[in-house]
Amino acid sequence: MLLLRNVDTFTPAPAGRTDILIAGGRIIRVEAGLSVPDGFCDVVEGSRWLAVPGFIDGHVHLMGGGGEGGYATRTPELALSDAIRGGVTTVVGCLGTDGVTRSGEGLLAKARGLEEEGLSTFIYTGYYAVPVQGITGSIERDLLIIDKVIGVGEVALSDHRSTQPTFDQFARVAAEARRGGLLSGKAGVVNVHMGDGPRGLALLRRIIAETEIPVTQFLPTHINRNPALFEEGIAWAKAGGLVDFTTSTVPAFLAEGEVKSSTGLRRMLDAGVNIAHMTFTSDGQGSLPDFDAQGKLRGIGIGRVTSLFAEVRDAVQQDGVPLATALQVITSNPARILKLKGKGQIAAGADADVVLLDPSTLAITGTIARGRWLMRDGDLLVKNTFELGPVSEQK
């Protein structure tokens, strides 16, 4: 048992100074002035911290991805320490361009491994391609039979790397995801990789106009990829849709017009978009290829889960977004949209996922996942089974 005493708490709404009592991996009570018997639990003075909900990263290539520059550019798996240092206590794994050498079965195994090591994990079924085969052979079966599967993705649209699905093909993906989600009690969302193509969100808009599938069935990601797509995203979100910003980037992307996530959050709020319709994800361990206008690869980078909170912090410190507002895009919003019970909040009965911040810098100093310290006062307490220590420790 653990009692964080007198900590400035954001649930993510500001709650003032409270005590947070944790037992059995869950938050038991959140209130000021809790009285506990001597020796009842580990009491930690928290007046030097801000306590916020553990971060949810809803788009991570847990087992790495296929690089678009050939075999040598296949990206590595997620290191547990990166998630811990980034305050990420819950991840949703996905596949990307490569669904051959990176499989759904492998993704599921990696997710289960990370959960054994301390994180909460879920996955999407499928990858860029349509039709979606999934692990069991169908979207509905995956949602109904595999506990960790919560939706479909990332399915690619408006991108030269997509399988160029037709209206009927893509509508079928959404319909199967919806049925599977309803029957399993899961979100069943379709995580849509949005490319740079001029068609943008056109296929999604047509499905909403011509079918009964609700707009919230889709979560288009990389919405800040270019100015035109960003503006489309504003209209989509104001019409009730969901939008997801990608926080990992490279200078070349920003120079070519990609909208920085922190700035994009501010701009969407100023445009009248409801904060409840927005999320941030990192695209962690995904390849970040830079293609020219003819589709030729000019360079490649890699996504980092540590970029997730860095962009939230920039939204607060550089773009003037209130902390309680900015936190929602990596806590309560993804928890609600993805139906992750017990996640995204500091409240009695919720999972004990808590991130501790320095109030002056908003630097992450502590990470608690399911009641267990993973990092404390900046010291990493848990590592991946095969993970090497800091460079100074390596031989």
| Mean local confidence (pLDDT), 231-236 | 98
Give the whole-angstrom CA distance, residue 273 versus residue 247.
19
Output the six-digit token pair for 296.
């030729």
The pLDDT tens digits for 190-207 are 999 999 999 999 999 999
- Cβ neighbours, 10 Å, residue 42: 11
Residue 303 has pLDDT above 70, yes or no: yes
Q: Does the pLDDT at position 287 exceed 90?
A: no
What Cα–Cα distance (Å) separates residue 393 from each residue in 138, 263, 376, 379, 387? Answer: 46, 38, 20, 14, 12
pLDDT tens for 331-357 read 999 999 999 999 999 999 999 999 999
Question: Active site includes 283?
Answer: yes
Reported residue count of the chain is: 395
Domain regions of the chain by residue span: 2-52+342-380, 54-337
Domain 54-337 superfamily per CATH: Metal-dependent hydrolases (3.20.20.140)
Domains 2-52+342-380 and 54-337 share a fold: no
The owner of tokens 């995203």 is 233
> In angstroms, rounded to a whole number, what is the distance separating the alpha carbons of residues 351 and 11?
12
**Cβ pair 300, 69 in contact under 8 A:** yes
Helix/strand/coil percent split, the chain, to 5: 30, 25, 45
Q: What is the pLDDT of residues 93-115, one digit of tens each?
A: 999 999 999 999 999 999 999 99
Quick: pLDDT tens for 120-165: 999 999 999 999 989 999 999 999 999 999 999 999 999 999 999 9
For residue 97, what pLDDT is reported?
Answer: 92
Q: What percent of the chain has pLDDT over 90?
A: 86
- Among residues 376, 248, 351, which one has the least CA distance to residue 301? 248
pLDDT for 393 beyond 60: no
Pick the CATH number of 2-52+342-380 from 3.30.750.80, 2.130.10.10, 3.40.309.10, 2.30.40.10: 2.30.40.10
User: Nearest 5°: phi and psi at 22?
Assistant: -120, 135
Structure confidence by residue, pLDDT tens digits, 354-375: 999 999 999 999 999 999 999 9
250 pLDDT tier (thresholds 50, 70, 90):
confident
User: What pLDDT is recorded for position 390?
Assistant: 52
The secondary element (H helix, E strand) that includes residue 336 is: helix 332-337
Q: Are 194 and 157 in contact (CB under 8 A)?
A: yes
The two tokens of residue 285 are 């361990």
Q: Which of 82, 142, 283, 314 is catalytic?
A: 283
What predicted TM-score, i.e. pTM, was given to this entire model? 0.94
